[in-house]
Structure 1
Amino acid sequence: MNQHIYIVEDDPNIRDIVKAYLIKEGYQVTMMETAEDAWENAKKQQPNMWILDIMLPGMDGYELCKKIRARSEVPIIIISAKDEEVDKILGLELGSDDYLTKPFSPRELVARVKRLFKRLENSPMVQKKTNTVEIDDLKMDQAARQVFWRDQEIDVTTKEFDMLEIFAKRPNRAFAREELLSLVWGEDYFGSDRAVDDLVKRLRKKLEGLPVETVWGYGYRLHIDEEQS
């Protein structure tokens, strides 16, 4: 087991306990006290999973979660003393994959880590060979930047390919329009989020039947029935 987990937590007792349990299960663990340190480390080496506390000195866990998700699809688990539903919803909307309320059992955290890794391994998105993504009727060659829909090659633009790739790598995850703007057009883009709507419209037209669903008032997701995948 070579998964490397970054844990950002300013409580030394929680850090030590969580680290001990995860190392016992065979994970490689790096501990950090601040979001700023974690972000600098991530620029040098990306982990296989993040575990983030929310209440951190300086940049909080929500902001770090948002920054991570703008650049990477790595799994994120949020741990927090905040147990209000609105806090959990905010964490999930910012891109976290799970939310655990303090106080928690270290065994439960380990179980959630294992479950999340297993869920990703069993995702309907299958990478059968390097640079190839297949999910239901969609096939993408990332190296050649080719798209095949129902065994027919479809001509797509650069941004159409980029957005489709984002959806295909994380099926059933809802992406906010602002997040898609950042991922496809870059963080320095200052145009309207209508550009996202237009791009989705073009993809739906070119790949007729592509199950990209509108999440009203939020954004879009590629809906895949996992039981039938």
Structure 2
Amino acid sequence: MMQITNGDKATLVYIGEDYYQDFVTIVNKGIEMFYQKVLTILTCLDLSNNSFHGRIPEEIQMLRSFRVMNLSNNGFSGEISLALQNLKDLESLDLSRNQLSGKIPPQLSSLTFLEALNLSYNQLEGSIPQSNQFMTFTNDSYRRNPKLCGLPLSRKCNEVGLRMPPPLGEDEDSWLYAMSTWKIALIGYANGLVVGLCIGYTVLNELGNKWVEKFKKCGKRNRRRCR
């Protein structure tokens, strides 16, 4: 899968013949395709449905001839490797159903040949890049990443960041979330009550002082007139 440079010309060489005689079935750009023979123009890596785990290795950037990469249904974790930006010929990338987290690297928008992208069923977050090929992908590319936002999703991003409600079914987290909400409401109510009492006391005290002063002045003349 590496480019073998012969002078200024880059050529691809398989070990053996010019093509494999064995047939193979490959998921290419989201479509399952059957190949009776594999020509050298097809450079594909399909490691899906295994138990690989850990971070996507940086060494993958050495395989610059990739056109199709499928690492779905594994246990890859951590952030999406920036090494993928060096695979300039990549046409299809499937990283779905892993445990990838963090933001989608905006550097991946430099993959201008990328026609199919699947990042669904991960733990990605933040805004989706809004340039080049990323403008062509649909909601299906990002399904089940509840902390992702921005087009093509209907979930909008804000400057502070998304505040997600507690997951359904987690009674303890839901209870803590409800208690924190009530605490905020009670604090606001108490502050408003104190401010209201202070204002009321000030107004009544001022009116009382004026009434006492008026009563004293009138008492010297005729108290009945001042009733």
Is TM-score (shorter-chain normalized) higher than 0.5?
no
Which structure features the higher share of helix residues?
1
* TM-score for the superposition, normalised by structure 1: 0.23
Q: Which is higher, the Rg of structure 1 or of structure 2?
A: 2
* TM-score for the superposition, normalised by structure 2: 0.24
Q: Which has the higher contact order (CA 8 A, sep 6+)?
A: 1
